[in-house]
Amino acid sequence: MVNSQSSPLISVIIPTYNRAWCIGRAINSVLNQTYQNYEIVITDDGSTDDTNKVIDSFSDNRIKYFKFEENRGMYKAQCNSIEKSTGDYIIFLDSDDELVQNAVQSFVSKISILTDKVAIILANQKDTSTNSNKGNSWIFNGKTILHYDDIICKPFIGDFLPFVRRDVFQRIPYKVTSQYMTNIIWHKIFREFSFYYLAETLGIVHTDSTDRRTYNRAKNADGWVIGVNEYLSEFGEDIKSRCPSHLAFIYRILAMYQILAGERVAAIKSILQALKYNLLDWKVWVVLGCVFIPKRITAWLLL
C-alpha cells in the first residue's frame, strides 16, 4: 500500500553506509507497519557498494533517498535526514536494524502524553544475540516520565528506540564534534525536555554486523576520546554538582579509550581524576594496570 497523503505525520530516518546486504530488511520493516502515514528518509553516507540499487528497487513514493559524495560520518547522515524530513515526529532507525510491525502505531497511540516539556518517547529494542532488551531499562526504576536529573548521574543510557517531536531539533541542533558519543546530543536534549519511557519492545537490533560502531572501539579509539572529552566539557560541572562520584566512571571510560588510542600519559591523568572522585572504584585500578601492558591485551581486557 502506497500512501498518497502529502503530509506524513511520522518520519523514519535511516542513515546508512555500505549496507546493501541489510538495508532492504530495514526498509521492509517500515513498509510493513500497521500504521501507514509516514515517510522514510534515507541518507547514504557515501556508500561504495550496491546500497543505491537496493533502495531503488523499492517503488514506494514515501521513500526519500539522499547520498553524500563521500563518507562524512553517521551523525552527518542523520542530521541530513532530519533536515530533509517533513513529519511532525521522527523515529531513528539504524540501517541494519528493524521495527516490529506495530512500532509506529504504538508510538502514535502515545502522542497524547507529549506536552511542551515531555517531547521524547523511548522504547525498548531486542538484541538478537541475547534475545533480551538491549537498553539499560533498570535506569528507569519504575518511572515512566524522567527528567535530566534522573539520568545525568547514571551510566550512559544505551540503545533505546527514540520517537522525537520535530521541534526538539529546532531548540537543540543535532550536531556533535565526535560521531562516537550519542549521549552528548541526547543529554543536551534531556536537559531541555523530559521523556516518556514506553516499556514495549518496538525495535530489533541485529548484532551480527561486524561494522557496528560498538564493535570497532579499539580501531576508532581516538574518536571516542574526542567524544568523551566533549561529554565532560558539556556535562562535567552538572555531574560534579549532583553526583561527583559518577565522574570516576566517566574518567575511567576516557582513560580506557586513551589507552587504546596510545595516549598513555593522558590516560594516567584521567585515572588520577577518576581516583580523585572515587578511590574505591576497583575498575579504575584495573584500567590503571592496563596502561603498562600491550595494546592487544588491553583491548581484550577492556572491551
- The topology (CATH level 3) of 10-205 is Spore Coat Polysaccharide Biosynthesis Protein SpsA; Chain A (3.90.550)
d(C-alpha 84, C-alpha 104), whole Å: 20
Q: Which helix (H) or strand (E) holds 42?
A: strand 38-44
Domains of the chain: which residue ranges?
10-205, 216-302
pLDDT at 252 over 80: yes
The model's pLDDT over 135-171, given as tens digits with 9 standing for 90+, comes to 677 778 788 999 999 889 987 666 789 999 999 999 9
pLDDT above 70 as % of the chain: 89
Q: For the stretch 136-175, what's the b/e string if a residue is b when 16 or more beta carbons lie within 10 angstroms of its beta carbon?
A: ebebbeeeeebebebbbbbebbebbbbbbbeebbeebebe
**Maximum distance among all Cα pairs of the chain, rounded to whole angstroms:** 63
294, amino acid identity: P
d(C-alpha 7, C-alpha 130), whole Å: 38
pLDDT above 90 as % of the chain: 67
d(C-alpha 148, C-alpha 193), whole Å: 8
Question: pTM for this structure?
Answer: 0.87
Instruction: Provide mean pLDDT across the span 68-84.
Output: 92
Contact between 248 and 277 (Cβ < 8 Å) = yes
Closest CA to 194 of 252, 268, 81, 115: 115
The 10 Å Cβ neighbour count of residue 225 is 25
**Mean of all residue pLDDT scores within the chain:** 89
